Amino acid sequence: MIVFAFPSHATREQAKVIAPYLKGSELILHATKGIEEKSLKRISVVLREELPIWRVGAISGPNLAGEIAKNEPAATVVASEFDDVIRAGEALMNTPRFKFIHRMT
């Protein structure tokens, strides 16, 4: 599982940097907000174009890093068309104070 959390304007270039190091069997969750400005593509699409990985999901939610760092309760939504991406994300990050809400796309 790789968590990709770059600003949308840097996503494509950073994906190109790491692409040679990936095998294709990895799972990706991205936490990037918005879309790519030039192409107006969703970040999941950009990642699929630049990485040798097809199984991608997105995490998003009404949570702030400062609140999570203080161990305050938070939740996030994980959306993916792949069950294994959702299960892996939940297993990696689910804690008593940080809950995942599942969404299949």
Has residue 101 got a pLDDT over 80?
A: no
Tell me which of 24 and 77 has the higher pLDDT.
Answer: 24
Return d(Cα 3, Cα 30) in angstroms, integer.
6
pLDDT in tens, 40-67: 999 999 999 999 999 999 988 777 778 8
Long-range contacts of residues 86-89, Cβ cutoff 8 Å, at least 24 apart: 86/57, 88/1, 88/27, 89/1, 89/27, 89/29, 89/57, 89/59
Q: What is the mean pLDDT of the chain?
A: 89
Has residue 30 got a pLDDT over 90?
A: yes
Lowest-confidence segment of 13-17, 77-81, 91-95 by average pLDDT = 91-95
